[in-house]
Amino acid sequence: MKLDAVVAGVGMTRFAKHPDKGLKELGREAVELAIADAGLGLADLEAAYVGNCAAGLVTGQESVRGQVILHPMGVGKIPIVNVENACASGSTALLHAAIMVSTGLADVVLALGVEKLTHPDKMRSFAALAGAMDVDELNAMVADLAASSAGAEGGAGRDRSLFMDVYAIAARDHMRRYGTTKEQFAMVAAKNAFHGSLNPRAQLRDALTVEQVLADRPIVEPLTRAMCSPIGDGGAAAVLVSGRKARALGIARPVRVTTSVMHSGWTRRDDEPDTVALCASEAYEEAGIGPADVSVVELHDASAPAEILSYEALGLCAPGDGGALVASGATRLGGRIPVNTSGGLLRKGHPVGATGIAQIVELTEQLQGRAGARQVAGARVGLAQNGGGKKGNDAAAMLVTILRT
């Protein structure tokens, strides 16, 4: 969808395990940072879209999560829309906020993503993630995953997210088809660990070598722990304004949300593009650009193999060349097309409802030249790819969003 929304301000918490903070505290911190960054007040908000995935199962808060989070800040009366769309909840909230200002229905709209995923009972967190699959099919799916992951330590959904087994199957298939190596998956994790070490808001900040990634605790072949995104908590927010409001505010170098394309999973044929490729091709066409025009990418690396698969689906390289692309250094800071300069989900963390907007925070700061040690020189175009859930043989929800200065 072609859009014309300006990112007036962004803010996010540090992503981490926050045992002393709930949804209200995490949401407040992100919103207040974004509002201050925009030079506005809470009273300027005309609507809010609040993305959250798992609160119902993890904290018990259902139905009115956005109202519960925003009310203590004094935000009420305005339309508050709750958005639940698996790991794509935040980016879906951003899409609808952008639609509202692009169509002239409002001048100032908040997009907030917030998640409290950690819990003393880790099984509750895993159950919340499993809920992003068809629960009627879940028992059969667990059995299939167990059979395909024979020899793995522990069990799918018991000591790890079911999605790690899904990613492991995709990784092994890519290795068989294209000769991709476990070392190349480890290169993704090591690259993102380097980027994350430069990001003060990242959940994991230690730099890792490829050898350290490979030597980490095995999860399910070929994944080690460092190749899997951690469970955590956090909030991220963006204040979107219309073009006329941006001019009134005197925003000198506006970052615009120009395009956001969303598709849902279906049972696709092997010769059909997946949701990432479909979203990307439509987003490039709507924006009038190609992959070579993108300066920096934040993509959904819930596992290291997912990043390599996304390189190919986004057109950053040819099918089968994702392993070679990361090995070349092209996706590292200083390379041709830096990917996940924030550290990505692997190191920045993945509090699922907040992830999509956290990508927008990183890209906005990159395009405004304020990413500090992570800055990509001359960044003008940013691309975010965020998806979640599973239905059919694809993600249940997928979005590709393009930002430009």
Active site residue 350: yes
Active site residue 87: yes
Q: How confident is the model at residue 321 (pLDDT cuts 50, 70, 90)?
A: very high
Confidence check: pLDDT of 378 > 70: yes
- Domain assignment present for 213: no
Average pLDDT score over residue span 250-269: 93
Task: Tokens 């699922």: give the residue.
Answer: 352
Average pLDDT score over residue span 40-48: 98
- Domain assignment present for 161: no
Average pLDDT score over residue span 261-285: 95
The CB-side HSE value for 286 (13 A sphere, CA atoms) comes to 21
Confidence check: pLDDT of 320 > 80: yes
Residue 166 identity? V
Q: pLDDT (tens digit, 9 = 90+) per residue, 297-315?
A: 999 999 999 999 999 999 9
Structure tokens at 357: 């907007």
Q: What is the model's pLDDT at position 155?
A: 60
CATH code of 374's domain: 3.40.47.10
User: For residue 222, is the peptide bond before it cis, meaning its omega torsion is within 30 degrees of 0?
Assistant: yes
Other Cβ atoms less than 10 A from the Cβ of 129: the count is 26
Q: Which of 18, 174, 263, 350 is catalytic?
A: 350
Q: What is the model's pLDDT at position 392?
A: 82
Q: What is the model's pLDDT at position 393?
A: 85
Looking at 98-107, 143-152, 204-213, which range is the least confident one? 143-152
Q: Which of 18, 53, 87, 279 is catalytic?
A: 87
Average pLDDT score over residue span 166-179: 96
Q: What is the model's pLDDT at position 158?
A: 55
Task: Tokens 């097309």: give the residue.
Answer: 337
Q: Could you tell me the residue range of the domain that residue 35 belongs to?
A: 2-120+231-404
Residue 48 forms beta bridges with which residues?
80, 110
Looking at 72-81, 118-127, 281-290, 352-361, which range is the least confident one? 118-127
Confidence check: pLDDT of 260 > 70: yes
- Domain assignment present for 86: yes
Structure tokens at 29: 């911190």
Q: What is the model's pLDDT at position 126?
A: 79
Q: pLDDT (tens digit, 9 = 90+) per residue, 142-161?
A: 666 666 665 455 565 456 67
Residue 289's alpha-carbon distances to 2, 27, 110, 172, in angstroms, are: 13, 35, 28, 33
Q: What is the model's pLDDT at position 18?
A: 96
Average pLDDT score over residue span 374-400: 95
Residue 84 identity? E
- Domain assignment present for 96: yes
Confidence check: pLDDT of 92 > 70: yes
* DSSP codes joined into one string, 76-139: -SS-EEEE-BTBTHHHHHHHHHHHHHHTTS-SEEEEEEEEE---SSHHHHHHHHHTTS-GGGHH
Q: pLDDT (tens digit, 9 = 90+) per residue, 323-336?
A: 999 999 999 999 99
* DSSP codes joined into one string, 264-279: E-----TTS--HHHHH
Average pLDDT score over residue span 370-396: 95
Looking at 47-56, 233-242, 267-276, 394-403, which range is the least confident one? 267-276
Q: What is the model's pLDDT at position 253?
A: 84
Q: What is the model's pLDDT at position 121?
A: 84
Confidence check: pLDDT of 83 > 70: yes
Average pLDDT score over residue span 374-394: 95
The CB-side HSE value for 328 (13 A sphere, CA atoms) comes to 15
- Domain assignment present for 194: no
- Domain assignment present for 196: no
Average pLDDT score over residue span 3-31: 97
The number of domains in the chain is: 1
CB 156 within 8 A of CB 295: no
The CB-side HSE value for 184 (13 A sphere, CA atoms) comes to 24
Q: CA 261, CA 264: separation in Å to the nearest integer? A: 10
% of the chain surpassing 90 pLDDT: 85
- Domain assignment present for 20: yes
Q: What is the model's pLDDT at position 193?
A: 98
Over the chain, what is the mean pLDDT?
94
Q: What is the model's pLDDT at position 132?
A: 84
Other Cβ atoms less than 10 A from the Cβ of 17: the count is 15
- Domain assignment present for 187: no
Q: What is the model's pLDDT at position 270?
A: 84
